[in-house]
Amino acid sequence: MPQAIEPQMPTGTEVASYQTYAQARAGVDYLSDNGFDVSSITIVGTDLHLVERVRGRLTIARASLSGASSGALWGALIGMLMSAGQSVGGTGGWVVSGIVVGALVGMALAALAFIIRGRNRDLVSSQQVVALRYAVLASADIDRAYALLQRTPGNRARAQRPRAETELPKKDSVGFFPDGRPRFGAATKEGDVPGAPAAPEPGAAPEGGSPEAPAAPDAPPSGQEDAPASSPSKDRPEA
């Protein structure tokens, strides 16, 4: 009694990725041509989609023609079996008869099936399972397999050089004119206004000169002393 094999997920490291199965198969052939042990390679289709391509509308004439072609093939096979052990002329007669009879029978059966089925399925289409991408996995000698598959066409897992990004100067605030003057009352983080002259510090000398000393109060002329204040008792005459 045959035993069903339990489905298992593939093992290995992805070394290449292709859009079509033909490209993935060509990549594996390239590994084999370069002496790589392909027994450790697995092709895995990911993101599977069931695609049905409609060829046209099914009519009774189309159904009868399809039945006639398949019936003719079966009739030819039966005619060859029936003509076993006969001469060449007899074999040809049996084969031709089988083709004619098989085509008629197939046509009749196909037309009858179309009438019974009705319009439930009156389209001619073909179904196919398509993967969005095909990954190539390697379970041994991964670095060599990756390096070899870099040369195959259609490989979308190629190493890309990092782009050199130029750092743009960052602004601490927004709303400034190109010359640095603030717009709409904007200011920097330090509270300074870009482009404005710095306020002089107290006691600092102006540009191009020396600091001036503060003016002293007016002194009395030399040689004169302050007269004492007159006393009212001395100014009064004696009685």
pLDDT digits (tens, 9 = 90+) for 71-87: 888 888 888 888 776 66
**Separation between Cα atoms, residue 8 and residue 135, nearest integer Å:** 16
Q: How many domains does the chain have?
A: 2
Print the domain residue range for 70: 59-121
In a domain, residue 36? The reply is: yes
Locus of tokens 């996995």: 137
Residue 108 has pLDDT above 60, yes or no: yes
In a domain, residue 19? The reply is: yes
In a domain, residue 17? The reply is: yes
pLDDT of 87 reads 67
pLDDT band at 31, cuts 50/70/90?
very high
What phi and psi, each to the nearest 5 degrees, are found at residue 41?
-105, 140
- Residue 144 contacts residue 31 (beta carbons within 8 Å): no
Domain match, 19 and 114 both:
no
In a domain, residue 135? The reply is: yes
Provide long-range contacts, Cβ within 8 A and 24+ apart, for 230-239: none
pTM above 0.75, yes or no: no
Closest among 56, 57, 45, 49 to 17, alpha carbons compared: 45
Domain match, 38 and 139 both:
yes
In a domain, residue 207? The reply is: no
In a domain, residue 147? The reply is: yes
- Residue 37 contacts residue 141 (beta carbons within 8 Å): yes
Task: Please state, as a whole number, how many other Cβ atoms lie within 10 Å of the Cβ of residue 139.
Answer: 14
